[in-house]
Structure 1
Amino acid sequence: MVMGIQQVSLSADGHRAAVVSLRDGVPSIYLIKNPFERRLVSDTLAPTVWAQRRLRQVPRLAPALALASEALRQRNPFLRDASYTTPPAGPLLAASEPAGSNGTNGHGEAPDSTRYGTLRVDFRNYVFSSAFDEARPPRATPSYYSSDPFAPKDNVDENGRYRPRRYRLYFTPDLVYGAAGYDMLYGVQSVTQMMFSDMLGNHRIWAATNLLVDLRNSDYLIAYSYLPRRTDWTVAVYHVARLLPDYALRTLYRYRHYGLNLSASYPLNKFERFDFGLAYMGVNQTDIGNLARPPVTRTLFYPSITYTRDVSVPGLLAPIGGHRLALQLSGSPGNLLYGRQIRFVTLLADARTYTSFGRGLYSFAFRLAGGASFGPNPQLFYSAGVENWINRRFDSFPIEDLTDFVFATPVLPLRATDINTLKGPYFGLFNAEFRFPLVAALLPGPLPILPLYNLQGTAFLDAGAVWGSPSNRRLNLFRRDEHGRQVLDDLRVAGGLGLRTIILGFPFRFDFAWPFDGRRFLHRRFYFSVGLDF
């Protein structure tokens, strides 16, 4: 059975229309040819069941009554009353027995009562109170409103046309909620977010905060977006604070990142856009373990431009078709005011392509990414295993200079390394994955485990390199080990298998990787993380 139209899309010439309707409860798409030339057999809608009961006549069956089976008509009191040519004078007859001849409904009860099983509701002396309306506090309304806010005064002119009125900007809350996540460097994170917008969606205010002890140790952001034009403008002020240990000096540092950011997004079409950004930011480092030590601060400008093209086809946990491309040019000309100058230029590129078969159940995903940073203070890239890595392992912490707290960028997925095993101002990365379904549902048996749905598997190959340390700027793909054998150096390669599923609404990933040193596969590594694949 097909019923209802939820969405309509009309062709430019008006000769075809695509509509979304429910077919046996499943959304389906239908194509209508020449929709404006179609004529209905009758221009009068059939009366509803309620209308038939009020009119006390049945010119033709209501839709609900026509579709109901005979058994359903007898079980449902509304449909049963509508089945009578002349509906009863009182409310619903409550049971399947006919009305008695003694002025009762067959149960010895007055006709102004309704029975549902053993429950009887008597409406003969029921009065609907106006206490709720009287108790409601009065609301201030504009002067041009009458007592009915939906019938304002002077709403139309002498010709019957609606009078134009100036649009009044009024913000209302769109959402207020708390979010939690996991970061491989800083652990569990949480934030409270609030968003407000006007009726037309031309203006948006977004606020986010995570208060901890005081403002110096808390995260907070306030942003305003101007959206009525083709170019979307956003201005934001923010503050981020993190506590990180220094095991070598046995102390604790507090890092703060704050600033003012102006950004613009210009869409070329539905699938392509340019994003521009200009930030004036500050970075502060304070030694919490030794307050006598003066804090260190850096300030700098950070402009950026990004081109994005996305024609991918989304799937359940990852895209299953199309491709994505992003190119970014960013850098810092220095602070232009005082203090140490931080200067660099960075170019990033990321290309991804997807193909699938078997109705999208089986898919291949390929990714090629690279980056290079130039200048006296180049940006730092470091290997990081997988995104949101829970059972993470550190080679060292990826902060060599104060500004690395902001600009140090992880290279992932590279499932052959620990965090910060490789680092430098240059990187290249290639990923290939084959994704396939495993189990539709795994229900709990004798063991009280949670049910798991849509378990998917993946076979992957990662190959990447990060190089350009101050001691060696060259890329060395191979080196000689202590036995004189040639093995991989800056280049890291790993292959393996993985499992993907959703537990309590969070996407979890389980990866088993075998690093390859150029001669043989090494011991297996296990990566447990939260998030979606590229």
Structure 2
Amino acid sequence: NPNWSPDGGSIVVSGTRGGISDLYIIDLASGAAQRLTSDRYAYFHPAYSPDGSTIAFVTDQSRTNLDQLSYAGYTIGVREVATGATRMLPVPQAGHNINPVWSRDGTSLYFVSDVSGIANIYRIEVGSGAVSQITRIFSGVSGITALSPTISAARDIDRVLFTSFEGNGYNIYALEQAEALAGAPLAMPQVATGDTIAPLAALLPPHPRPAEPAFNRVAQQVNDATTGLPSAAAAADYPVVPYRPRLGLDYIGQPMIGATVGGGMGGGGLFGAVSAIWSDVLGRHTVMGAVQAQGELDEIGFSTLYLYSPLRWNLGVAAQRIPYVFPAFSQTGTPGDFQRNFFRFRLFDTRVTGVAQYPFSHVQRAEFTAGPRRIAEDVRIIEQRFVAGQAFPPESRREPGSSFNMFETSAALIYDSSLFGFTSPFAGQRYRFELNPIFGQIQMVQATADYRRYLFFNPFTVAVRGLHYGRYGRDQAAFRDIYIGYPWFVRGYAPNDVERACRESTAPCPLNQLSGQRIGVVNAELRFPLIRALVLGVAPIGFPPIEGFFFADAGTAWGETPQGTTTPIFARPGGENSLDRPFFTSIGAGARVNVFGYIIVEVDYVNPLDRDRGWHWQFNFQPGF
């Protein structure tokens, strides 16, 4: 709640540091901050007096006992700017007193109090301490939250504005008459015997409240902060031992398990996955792990991370062995005499990585990693001959592929203030800028620039993304090229669909133009809710949230090819230079559904503008970018 000084040269604010709020004066010319309070109590709602000599504020200082952990309502104090002298005003002791606002002449304060059980506006004379009640609204005056400001007073005329929640919305009212602003003397509300907290509106029957203890046990227990606490002598004898962290399960992912029998890709196998997170009570030690099976015993993969975070620097170590399996099929020969070939390409990514993270804020951090990595490939080939319609038993063999040993490092700047809805982010922004130098048998640098912005215009969201990923250096072509036709890049160019269309057409095939060691992708979506809840009659029925969207995608891929180095150009496909890499584009509409919080299904009706397929349906399992 920043509040201007009368001369406009400074503002007084309530600032939080280390979870504790204090008052600060900010000099607008120099930017220097002067700290006014420094203790464990709460301070907020500061307000300059009209002459700038005094600051009123809200605090729990006079009514809270931190040693006993006894917390009471908020009261109002005033502080002399020149001397720092502070005193508490005799506002009502029951309930909360917040939002002090100075009268035009600076002799009194308007404030909000729920001393009666209902929040209303009161006035206190700063000199005499006399309190009067200004409003008597049965529904109360209120801001957005229980402690939000709700009143404002003009400095040049006698006028007070306040808000009240009525009819499912906030109304603004004005008080201008002198009689209304003066108010009526405060009548002390009835409370239970021995109770200074429970006001009339919160008082349980019977009414009036009898004085017998049986009718006041709850109020007495609420006000008793010492029962159950050890004495000072007993507490001094308690042993003090160092903190010993013990890990406990925080989260376990949805387990999955399945099995297959037979099949053309090499028989059956076991499939499944599970993930979990453990941490200690103080959150200083975190362990994350996941295990996944993909059919064969040596295709069981895992990933684990340990993070040590009691300091500003978060340090950790990660280890993983992740297998990637890619099937393929080919057929050679004539219709009566042919051979079917099934390929099961496997890539194993094994690494151990040290991690260091430095958070600049809750949404931004720098991240550094380093460690050894090994990538190994092999392929299982299953061949089956057919002669004159007779099938011979399939033959299987495994052939080793290439392998690489390397040492990887990375440095990244990461920002994420996005707010995620049921199926995709709807507000905020995210970015990741990263350099990933690699040494050893593979020498190159991987670069990532990924920026995403979400503009929220209730209920619509305009989402845009710009992405570049590229490999640079001696061995940039050592690994499989990156294909931009996947649905998370440019929709409408699914690789199997494009490859099939190329086999069935005599037109030039764009498949090789969609891959490269470097890619650039731009996406835009207009998102809006289609279904939030399905209600039949008076009974709400849970229905998976559905998000609709219109989209436009564009992307290009380039790099080293056997014919030479390709270059991206801002043009559509169809140029004569084979080394030019144009942008492939698509437009369409779609919907995403969150299936019971388990998986997000995306359905697109897409028109790839740079191929002859036209409008068609496409299905994916992915959240919005």
The aligned counterpart of 2:407 is 301
The aligned counterpart of 2:302 is 220
Once the 2 structures are TM-superposed, how far is the Cα of residue 453 of structure 1 from its aligned partner? 4.9
Superposed CA deviations along residues 137-177 of structure 1, whole A, max 9, x for unmatched, are xxxxxxxxxxxxx989996448xxx7643222322332334
The aligned counterpart of 1:382 is 483
Give distance in 2, aligned partners of 1:256 and 1:462.
32
Give distance in 1, aligned partners of 2:512 and 2:45.
56
Do the aligned partners of 1:220 and 1:240 also contact (CA within 8 Å) in 2? yes
Do the aligned partners of 1:394 and 1:418 also contact (CA within 8 Å) in 2? no
Give distance in 2, aligned partners of 1:154 and 1:214.
65
Once the 2 structures are TM-superposed, how far is the Cα of residue 254 of structure 1 from its aligned partner? 3.5
- 2:353 pairs with 1:329: no
Give distance in 1, aligned partners of 2:490 and 2:542.
24
Q: CA distance change for structure 1 residues 266 and 420 in 2, over 3 Å: closer, same or farther?
A: farther
Do the aligned partners of 2:376 and 2:401 also contact (CA within 8 Å) in 1? yes
Superposed CA deviations along residues 311-341 of structure 1, whole A, max 9, x for unmatched, are 445545433444322211113112xxxxxx2
Do the aligned partners of 2:493 and 2:608 also contact (CA within 8 Å) in 1? no
**Structure 1 residues without counterparts, runs of 5 or longer:** 1-7, 19-31, 47-57, 74-78, 89-149, 335-340, 399-416
- 2:450 pairs with 1:350: yes
Superposed CA deviations along residues 195-234 of structure 1, whole A, max 9, x for unmatched, are 3222221112223223567752212233321111111111
* Aligned AA (1:394): P
* Aligned AA (2:247): F
The aligned counterpart of 1:239 is 321
Within the candidate set 169, 172, 178, 2:245 is matched to 169
Superposed CA deviations along residues 3-55 of structure 1, whole A, max 9, x for unmatched, are xxxxx98454454169xxxxxxxxxxxxx951343455349xx9xxxxxxxxx
Give distance in 2, aligned partners of 1:154 and 1:189.
61
Do the aligned partners of 1:389 and 1:529 also contact (CA within 8 Å) in 2? no
* Aligned AA (1:34): V
* Aligned AA (2:403): T
Give distance in 2, aligned partners of 1:242 and 1:230.
36
The aligned counterpart of 1:511 is 604
Superposed CA deviations along residues 430-456 of structure 1, whole A, max 9, x for unmatched, are 1122122334434689xxxx9635433
The aligned counterpart of 2:495 is 394
Do the aligned partners of 2:449 and 2:467 also contact (CA within 8 Å) in 1? yes
Superposed CA deviations along residues 282-328 of structure 1, whole A, max 9, x for unmatched, are 22223334546446432211211111123445545433444322211
TM-score w.r.t. the length of structure 2 is 0.52
The aligned counterpart of 2:152 is none
- 2:93 pairs with 1:41: yes
Q: Which moved more, 1:375-384 or 1:435-444?
A: 435-444
The aligned counterpart of 2:350 is 258
Once the 2 structures are TM-superposed, how far is the Cα of residue 60 of structure 1 from its aligned partner? 8.8
Superposed CA deviations along residues 334-363 of structure 1, whole A, max 9, x for unmatched, are 2xxxxxx22211221112222232xx3112
TM-score w.r.t. the length of structure 1 is 0.60
- 2:444 pairs with 1:368: no
Superposed CA deviations along residues 219-273 of structure 1, whole A, max 9, x for unmatched, are 2233321111111111122222243324245332333222211111111223321
Q: CA distance change for structure 1 residues 396 and 333 in 2, over 3 Å: closer, same or farther?
A: farther
Q: CA distance change for structure 1 residues 317 and 173 in 2, over 3 Å: closer, same or farther?
A: closer
* Aligned AA (1:373): R
Give distance in 2, aligned partners of 1:530 and 1:459.
17
Q: Secondary structure at the match of 1:333?
A: strand
Once the 2 structures are TM-superposed, how far is the Cα of residue 492 of structure 1 from its aligned partner? 0.6
**Structure 2 residues without counterparts, runs of 5 or longer:** 1-18, 25-41, 47-55, 61-74, 77-90, 96-114, 116-191, 215-228, 258-264, 331-340, 382-395, 500-508
Give distance in 1, aligned partners of 2:523 and 2:452.
9
Do the aligned partners of 2:513 and 2:557 also contact (CA within 8 Å) in 1? no
- Greater share of strand residues, 1 or 2? 2
Q: CA distance change for structure 1 residues 174 and 157 in 2, over 3 Å: closer, same or farther?
A: same
* Aligned AA (2:455): T
- 2:559 pairs with 1:468: yes
Q: CA distance change for structure 1 residues 219 and 443 in 2, over 3 Å: closer, same or farther?
A: farther
Do the aligned partners of 1:396 and 1:421 also contact (CA within 8 Å) in 2? no
* Aligned AA (2:620): S
Within the candidate set 512, 528, 533, 2:619 is matched to 528
The aligned counterpart of 1:147 is none
Once the 2 structures are TM-superposed, how far is the Cα of residue 479 of structure 1 from its aligned partner? 5.1
Give distance in 1, aligned partners of 2:290 and 2:240.
37
Do the aligned partners of 1:424 and 1:469 also contact (CA within 8 Å) in 2? yes
Q: CA distance change for structure 1 residues 189 and 155 in 2, over 3 Å: closer, same or farther?
A: farther
- 2:311 pairs with 1:229: yes
Do the aligned partners of 1:395 and 1:421 also contact (CA within 8 Å) in 2? no
Give distance in 1, aligned partners of 2:471 and 2:514.
15
CA RMSD of aligned residues (A): 4.7
Give distance in 1, aligned partners of 2:275 and 2:573.
50
Superposed CA deviations along residues 60-88 of structure 1, whole A, max 9, x for unmatched, are 999699669xxxx9xxxxx8999999899
Give distance in 1, aligned partners of 2:397 and 2:248.
45
Do the aligned partners of 1:501 and 1:507 also contact (CA within 8 Å) in 2? yes
Q: CA distance change for structure 1 residues 311 and 375 in 2, over 3 Å: closer, same or farther?
A: same
Once the 2 structures are TM-superposed, how far is the Cα of residue 397 of structure 1 from its aligned partner? 12
Q: Which moved more, 1:269-278 or 1:172-181?
A: 172-181
Q: Secondary structure at the match of 1:216?
A: helix
Give distance in 2, aligned partners of 1:373 and 1:267.
27
Give distance in 2, aligned partners of 1:504 and 1:218.
28
